[in-house]
Amino acid sequence: MKLRILLAAAGLVTCAAASPVELSRDPDKAPVSIADVSLFWRAFDLWVSGGGQSDKLALVLKTEYLDKGSDGVKDFTPNRIIDAESLAARILEDRGYYERARPYAEKILAFEPEIRAIYRKFRDWYPAARFPALYFVVGRRNSGGMSSQRALIIGTEMFGDDRARLRFDVMVPMVAHELMHFQQRTSQEKGSGFLASCLREGAADFLAERLAGRHINESIKSYGDAHERELWERFQQDVTRPDGHRAWLYNARDSKRVGPPDLGYYMGYKITQSFYQASTDPAAALRAIIEMHDPEDIFQRSQYGNRFGRAGK
């Protein structure tokens, strides 16, 4: 089925966002929208044609992008975009970065066949899968993607050539990664800690790789593989510390991190992979990884430590 591309800013079809009770279980009917990308660049062009004064950008972004944006923009704003002033400041720091990303964002339609194929493959794995609306937006260069209660949201400005934060060819693995997060059902009691965060992120990478053939954190894999045992030993120490996450997750600017940023994704990937490989029921293991009800149980049953001559923590 043809991908349902929603281009409100270009004057084409629009539709309401899927709410939590309207989520599709049909991979061919889940809406995909690039309307917000068009909105952003229309706002940007309006600012440029009006003289491009720095002090005018925030107002244009607010009225022509954030206020008119989809539910995807609204969900992406609180912890990513923040507000029009913050977005404007980020653009003005390096306007050229955004302008270089623009032609890549305009090629998103090229991913249509891959996105639908991944959705169908995932449905075959996991018949209980839910497929929310997928929104492509423009953000503040701090997030390639997220999942909310009603949507998957991809920050298109993050993707481009070698100068971008992420290469354009990992756009589809990012969609797969966020689709996995949307399925995860970790309880609040079992999902608030450092270990749970690493396993949720690592599971999303592991499953994205199986769906799309690669994942979004391959750049740290060579380092991880070369230092796997010492990373495992350090991980066991940090997982019990109140601030242990600082060394492993969301730490690009943290001087106390372990090696390259976000090695917690790598450790979560390896533990999840080990859990799957150790299972005698691959289908049940996939369900456990997808739903991620109990990260601690997956950790304990993974047998990951056995490869280093020890088990458990």
Of 183, 217, 233, which one is at a domain's C-terminal end?
183
- Are residues 218 and 175 part of one domain? no
- Are residues 170 and 28 part of one domain? yes
Q: Tell me how long the chain is.
A: 313
Look at residue 46 in the predicted model and tell me its pLDDT. 98
Q: Judging by DSSP bridges, how do beta strands 133-137 and 145-147 pair with one another?
A: unpaired
- Are residues 48 and 142 part of one domain? yes
- What distance, in Å, lies between the first and last C-alpha atoms of the chain? 47
- Are residues 22 and 161 part of one domain? yes
Of 183, 214, 232, which one is at a domain's C-terminal end?
183
> Does residue 245 fall inside a structural domain?
yes
Positive or negative CA dihedral for 43, 46, 48, 54? negative
Q: What share of the chain is helix, strand, coil (3-state, %, to 5)?
A: 60, 5, 35
> Does residue 104 fall inside a structural domain?
yes
Residue in the structure block whose two tokens are 């992008």: 65
- Are residues 239 and 150 part of one domain? no
Q: Which of 31, 220, 12, 13 is nearest to 116 (CA)?
A: 31
- 139, 82 in Cβ contact below 8 A? no
> Does residue 259 fall inside a structural domain?
yes
Look at residue 57 in the predicted model and tell me its pLDDT. 98
Look at residue 11 in the predicted model and tell me its pLDDT. 29
Residue in the structure block whose two tokens are 């209980």: 128
- Are residues 224 and 95 part of one domain? no
Tokens encoding 210? 């199986």
Of 183, 213, 240, which one is at a domain's C-terminal end?
183
Partners of 137 in beta bridges: 155
Domain extent, residue 151, equals: 5-183
φ/ψ (deg, to 5) at 171: -60, -45
- Are residues 243 and 176 part of one domain? no
Neighbours of 98 (CB within 10 A): 20
Instruction: Enter the DSSP assignment of 139.
Output: -
> Does residue 207 fall inside a structural domain?
yes
- Are residues 174 and 134 part of one domain? yes
> Does residue 178 fall inside a structural domain?
yes
> Is residue 262 left, alpha or beta, with left meaning phi > 0 and alpha meaning psi from -120 to 50?
left
> Does residue 89 fall inside a structural domain?
yes
CA-CA distance, 134 to 79, in Å (whole number)? 18
Look at residue 224 in the predicted model and tell me its pLDDT. 96
Look at residue 309 in the predicted model and tell me its pLDDT. 74
- Are residues 177 and 64 part of one domain? yes
CA-CA distance, 209 to 289, in Å (whole number)? 13
Look at residue 256 in the predicted model and tell me its pLDDT. 84
Neighbours of 116 (CB within 10 A): 17
- 90, 61 in Cβ contact below 8 A? no
- Are residues 239 and 158 part of one domain? no
259, amino acid identity: G
123's CB contacts (< 8 A; 6+ apart) are: 25, 27, 129, 131
The one-digit pLDDT tens for each residue of the chain (313 residues) are 333 333 333 322 233 333 444 688 899 999 899 999 999 999 999 999 999 999 999 999 999 999 999 999 999 999 999 999 999 999 999 999 999 999 999 899 889 889 999 999 999 999 999 999 999 999 999 999 999 999 999 999 999 998 988 999 999 999 999 999 999 987 655 656 899 999 999 999 999 999 999 999 998 999 999 999 999 999 999 988 888 888 999 888 888 899 999 999 999 999 999 999 999 999 999 999 999 999 999 999 999 999 887 544 4
Tokens encoding 71? 């539910």
Q: Judging by DSSP bridges, how do beta strands 32-33 and 5-6 pair with one another?
A: parallel
- Are residues 56 and 39 part of one domain? yes
Q: How many domains does the chain have?
A: 2
- Are residues 257 and 176 part of one domain? no
> Does residue 313 fall inside a structural domain?
no
